[in-house]
Structure 1
Amino acid sequence: MDKEIDTIKNMKENGAFKKYIEYIVFPYYKNLVPGTKINLEFPITILVGKNGSGKSSTLHALYGAPYWKTCADFWFSTEVDPIEETGGEGKNRFFYGYREDKQSEIKEVMKTRMRRGSKTKEEDPDYWETSKPIKKDGMTAQTRNDPVKKEVVYLDFRAEVSAFDKIFHFAKGDISGKKDLLRKRSKYLNRLFNGEAMRFPGAPDEKVGVVKELNDEMKKKISSILGKEYVSIKVAEHSLFKNPGTSIYVKTKLSSRYSEANAGSGEVAVIQLVKKIEEAQEYSLILLDEPEVSIHPGAQEKLKEYLLEVTKRKKLQVVISSHSPILIRDMPSEAIKLYITNSQGRFEVKENVDYREAFYDLEDCVSDKKIIFCEDFAAKNIVEQVLKRMDKTQYFDVEFNPGGEKTLLTKYLPTFVTHDFFKERVFLVLDGDMQTDYVYNAEELTVKQEKDVSYMKECVKKAYGVDIQAYVDGGNGGKREDQEIAAYKEYLKYYTDSVFYLPSKSIPEKILLESQYVKQQYPSIVNEKVDITNDNAKKIFATISEADYGNEEHINDLIQKLAYKWSMEDSSNKKRVEEIVNEIYKK
């Protein structure tokens, strides 16, 4: 999947996607925060957020962006739900920027909702017009540009109901009447699927329905998504059951033929999705509203793989509204747009969101938090303050060990590395003065070295700076050397993957004392020293605590205050702690 994503990114950078909508801006549109801008850097964009947060409204605007399209097909005024345009924002409107190709400049297009009506034109209270640029909205265009000419495929999977379901589950009337109608009309549908003349009373065949058998490539893709091996798939668009609808007629390798009456709703939805996307032209705009509906998790993963593949193959631009953690997992941050309701009840869009952050917002909790162990209270506060500034506190628990680094390494570490649960979730952020700069490379070990207990034990000491015992089976025969060596290898792998150090080989007190706040607030104390070092930092802390609080008993209060002030500044040490947190976050 990473390879597909990288390929699509490179294609985008090299201009492979033509008639591409680069961004869309909402100066005033429904309940989005005025001025909301959504950048569409990656050709697949996923709109994530809770129900009613404006995702579908964004899809409707994108649907109405191209030539001869209007979002009034989905959003229009009624007496029950009138669209009121009052106040300082003016008319509902949005604009977008697109490129015809790599060599083209961005063309901006404004679309505005207004009432149309004259002697020559039919009255339309929900008419959307391509209007002149409005500079105060942030537009750079000088003249009115034509909308992008781009085919649009819109699929709302909450509304994708088969012809059978429309009658059997949603039509009015008693159950016996519905069954009677389906029985009587099914003979015409059977003729349609079999390629025979339907002879439906009162209407020519071509007006009643058409059928298409999907080719081998489409069947292969649908089979992959749904985990079934289809021999035949036929899709009929017809009005045999009174209202226009879609019916399918399929045969798998393990079953006889069946229609949508005996198929799952997810099966019908996936068949429709693949059919319509495969029939779409190159460079089309594909809009999918909750495609995960009625599709099991395994199929969702395969659907994501298909969307990446077809986007690359047909150079599509795809925008998806979704609640599915599976669809957003491992997607690049520029592909994910998180919709959040602010304190005024309007919807904000947060960009460049890691998929785990979006997943957290969907779930409102994180069940598998990562745990960071520090060796003292000061280091814990530094890490926690950085997490707050990065808005990532919900993904971590930060703890410190009162016994210091030796207790943490000699007593706790052997437990961490012998259990997969802990290895995947527990990380160490140690004081910088403990850093040894030892580099462990398992591939460089000779056969003799990796079987030598003493050598492997010495490697562990070089890495961590202390002797760490290997807890193995014993007995009259002594320790088992194979288990001892295996334990040392685990210690070294954990050292490479899960152990980090505070920057500049510094203890946390030294890092905090080097902040601009300390220099400005305590110049007489700090300036007495030529240099702040790991050796004198704790003593300086004690001096400041006595000056601020009258004694040295408020060291922890001082640490909390200085860690907070330090986190508000920009420094190389803070950036390095942020890098450490991000590295742990992504593991």
Structure 2
Amino acid sequence: MSTSKIKNISSIPIAKFENYIKKIRFPNYKGIEPNSVLTLDFPFTVIVGTNGCGKTSILQALYGCPHGKSTSEHWFSTTLDPIIESTDGPPRFIYEYQPKGLTRSIEAIKTWRKREGNPDYWEPARPRIADNMERFPESLNAKEQLHASKDRWNQVRKDVTYISFKAKLSAFDKYMNFGFLTKTKTIKTKQDFIRRRTATLDKAFKSIDLDVSYNSRKSTRKFEIDSSTLAICSKILGKNYAKAVLIEHNYFNNSGISIKFTNGNGNYSEAVAGSGEVVIFDIVHTIKNAPPQSLILLDEPEVSLHPGAQLELRNFIFDEIIKHKHQVVITTHSPSFVQDLPSQAIKLMVPATSSNHFSIINSATPEQAFIKLGSFTQGKRTIIVEDVLAQFLVEKAIKQIAPDLLQNTEIKPYAGGGEKIKQDIICVLCEGDISNVSVLLDGDQKIHKDLIDQSNIPQSQNNSLKKIFSEYVGVTIKLPLNGGNDPCSSENIVTIRKAFDVYNKNFFFFNRKTPEELLLEIFQNDPDVLAVSDINDHKEKFKKISINAIGDDKSSNILHEQRRLINKISGGEELWVDFVNVVQQIMSNS
């Protein structure tokens, strides 16, 4: 279901999304590498990275883009953490959007300024040429004048919904976890306090109006969840809700929400509900009521939800994008929000090689994101291969080396072939200390027989280093270069040289051009193999073997015949022993 929704979203022209923010760049902003750019090429954008890499900071910047919104609502200066101007100028970000009614995109900037009475003022400014903004046109046509002021383009006008799932707590959880208890003769524990105040809350649930108070404490909002939202929440959470009533109140001293649920087992409140239940009802209601064409920013929506619920929440968000043309940007640590997305929807935050900042990779496969999240490996050694036949051969070899090793090893077929694996995986392995991922490619992917040790390449050849590496691996790799496009910058030289080391350490190759060739050569005297000796292509040989044995060449039947041969391997065949030695090297790699 998710893939069809993703295809549906992909088919919607970006022009259908009014005032769509196409990109945002950061000349100087928090811990993000100066002049980094985040492109927003897909209406559902996922930002992935480790804790402290700047994911939330980007959401805060996006929140501050529209007219009337300010990043200072989330990031502000304090004595402990002052915001200061650096040699690169004040903190600022620049974003590009296409205003409704214009065929061209325009750029707007917001800059932090310290003003008297407002130490965290983010003000629109005229184009900053030093940041490579275009000069403001001297003359404008009638349509352009609608989107411009005296010397600058107007800020984007767009409704914004910002939800931090980490901060979403019910009124009960807020008090029990963070509330202050003033002890009295009758209230000695937080439980006593809750018992006293829930009597008032119960009256509020039963009351028609918002007239129930406890001293100065009162409810400010109350409504019954509509049937559509009930159905959506039931699907996400895997329950069957008959009714739910939400109250926003401060009966527990701090403002928060309480929900009274009704299902087949009776009534219960958030005090005994799962933490994810209250969050989902609140979030679904909020998103469903967001005005069409909104910018929706979600910070770690996986909090308190199991993977199945995460997928259903994502499906709900997809539906809202399709129906209401929302632009959604989320941060996440969860593979559930990443899986099946197109590469342009996935953004990776990675350490910059030259500083303590983080840079942005604007296009990443789900597999790259999984590796970055650590979920691809799940704490196990991972061996990436080109196809299922290679997977079965590796499993057979590991069983021969030490069967127990399979319990802590994942062999993962990776779609797209050897060149794509090189392009994707070298890039990710260059970005972190990932020691438990190895790659085993078909032998025809080994371009050079001998290893090239980058330490033996003289510094005088640095200007040719990128070309040398591309020729070495047989494909052009788009490495995460932090020093711009200049391959000779010191930062980029470090990255390219690291790519040599990553490739030499983590990439291994079959001892024949393909797994099919290896298997057929081991069994070259087998009657079934001899029967197809007149066919040169190894894949065609297996098709014919399948036809001879089963009557057709369906891929499942071909694989069945290949597994049948694998099961006949005794373990002592010379070619097989050579292959087992390759797998042994992989298992010893750390």
Range class of TM-score, shorter chain: 0.5 to 0.7
Report the 3-state secondary structure (helix = DSSP H, G, I; strand = E; otherwise coil) of the residue aligned with 2:166.
Answer: coil
Q: Contact conserved, 1:94 with 1:112, CA < 8 A, in 2?
A: yes
How far, CA to CA, are the matches of 2:333 and 2:551 in structure 1?
A: 43
Q: TM-score, normalised by structure 2?
A: 0.67
Q: 1:234 aligns with which of 241, 245, 253?
A: 245
Report the 3-state secondary structure (helix = DSSP H, G, I; strand = E; otherwise coil) of the residue aligned with 1:125.
Answer: strand
Structure 2 residue 23 is matched with structure 1 residue 23: yes
Q: 2:125 aligns with which of 128, 131, 136?
A: 131
Q: Contact conserved, 1:406 with 1:466, CA < 8 A, in 2?
A: no
One-letter amino acid of the counterpart of residue 131, structure 1: A
Q: Contact conserved, 2:543 with 2:558, CA < 8 A, in 1?
A: no
Structure 2 residue 533 is matched with structure 1 residue 464: no
Where do residues 145-164 of structure 1 align in structure 2 (5 Å cutoff)?
145-164=153-172
Structure number with greater Rg is: 1
One-letter amino acid of the counterpart of residue 398, structure 1: F
Kindly, what percent of the aligned residue pairs are identical?
33
The alpha-carbon deviation at position 482 of structure 1 amounts to: 9.8
Q: Contact conserved, 2:97 with 2:107, CA < 8 A, in 1?
A: yes
Match of 2:61 in 1: 61
Match of 2:325 in 1: 315
The alpha-carbon deviation at position 484 of structure 1 amounts to: 2.5
Structure 2 residue 366 is matched with structure 1 residue 355: yes
Match of 1:2 in 2: 3
Match of 2:518 in 1: 408
Match of 1:199 in 2: 212
One-letter amino acid of the counterpart of residue 108, structure 1: E
Match of 1:184 in 2: 196
Report the 3-state secondary structure (helix = DSSP H, G, I; strand = E; otherwise coil) of the residue aligned with 1:11.
Answer: coil
Where do residues 82-481 of structure 1 align in structure 2 (5 Å cutoff)?
82-87=82-87, 89-101=88-100, 103-117=102-116, 123-140=117-134, 142=136, 143-173=151-181, 176-196=188-208, 198-203=211-216, 208-253=219-264, 255-343=265-353, 344-363=355-374, 366=377, 367-370=382-385, 371-374=440-443, 385-386=473-474, 389=477, 397-401=507-511, 408-411=518-521, 461=535, 463-464=537-538
Match of 1:557 in 2: none
Structure 1 residues 383 and 215: CA distance shift in structure 2, 3 A: farther
Q: Contact conserved, 2:520 with 2:529, CA < 8 A, in 1?
A: no
How far, CA to CA, are the matches of 1:68 and 1:319 in structure 2?
A: 20
For structure 1, which runs of at least 5 residues remain unmatched after alignment? Answer: 118-122, 415-452, 472-480, 498-587
Structure 1 residues 407 and 244: CA distance shift in structure 2, 3 A: closer
Structure 2 residue 88 is matched with structure 1 residue 77: no
Q: Deviations over 1:323-345 (max 9, x none)?
A: 11111111111111100112311
The alpha-carbon deviation at position 397 of structure 1 amounts to: 5.0
One-letter amino acid of the counterpart of residue 4, structure 1: K
Please give the root-mean-square deviation of Cα atoms over the aligned residues, in Å: 3.7
One-letter amino acid of the counterpart of residue 187, structure 1: A
Q: TM-score, normalised by structure 1?
A: 0.68
Match of 1:537 in 2: none
Report the 3-state secondary structure (helix = DSSP H, G, I; strand = E; otherwise coil) of the residue aligned with 1:246.
Answer: strand
Q: Contact conserved, 2:542 with 2:558, CA < 8 A, in 1?
A: no
Structure 1 residues 272 and 386: CA distance shift in structure 2, 3 A: farther
How far, CA to CA, are the matches of 2:118 and 2:515 in structure 1?
A: 74
The alpha-carbon deviation at position 159 of structure 1 amounts to: 0.9
How far, CA to CA, are the matches of 1:192 and 1:309 in structure 2?
A: 34
How far, CA to CA, are the matches of 2:36 and 2:519 in structure 1?
A: 49
The alpha-carbon deviation at position 388 of structure 1 amounts to: 8.5
Give the paired residue count: 441
One-letter amino acid of the counterpart of residue 74, structure 1: H
Structure 1 residues 199 and 12: CA distance shift in structure 2, 3 A: same
Match of 1:120 in 2: none
Q: Contact conserved, 2:447 with 2:473, CA < 8 A, in 1?
A: no
One-letter amino acid of the counterpart of residue 110, structure 1: I
For structure 2, which runs of at least 5 residues remain unmatched after alignment? Answer: 137-150, 386-439, 451-469, 480-498, 563-590
How far, CA to CA, are the matches of 1:467 and 1:130 in structure 2?
A: 68
Q: Deviations over 1:224-270 (max 9, x none)?
A: 111111111222111111111111111123x2111110111111111
How far, CA to CA, are the matches of 2:301 and 2:159 in structure 1?
A: 19
The alpha-carbon deviation at position 301 of structure 1 amounts to: 1.1
Q: Deviations over 1:247-304 (max 9, x none)?
A: 1111123x21111101111111111110100011001111100000110011111111
Q: 2:549 aligns with which of 484, 495, 511?
A: 484
Structure 1 residues 229 and 135: CA distance shift in structure 2, 3 A: same
Q: Deviations over 1:337-370 (max 9, x none)?
A: 1001123111100111111112111218742521
Q: Deviations over 1:123-162 (max 9, x none)?
A: 1111111111101212125131221121111111111111
How far, CA to CA, are the matches of 2:122 and 2:89 in structure 1?
A: 14
Q: Contact conserved, 2:171 with 2:258, CA < 8 A, in 1?
A: yes
The alpha-carbon deviation at position 380 of structure 1 amounts to: 7.0
Structure 1 residues 408 and 154: CA distance shift in structure 2, 3 A: same
Where do residues 517-536 of structure 1 align in structure 2 (5 Å cutoff)?
none
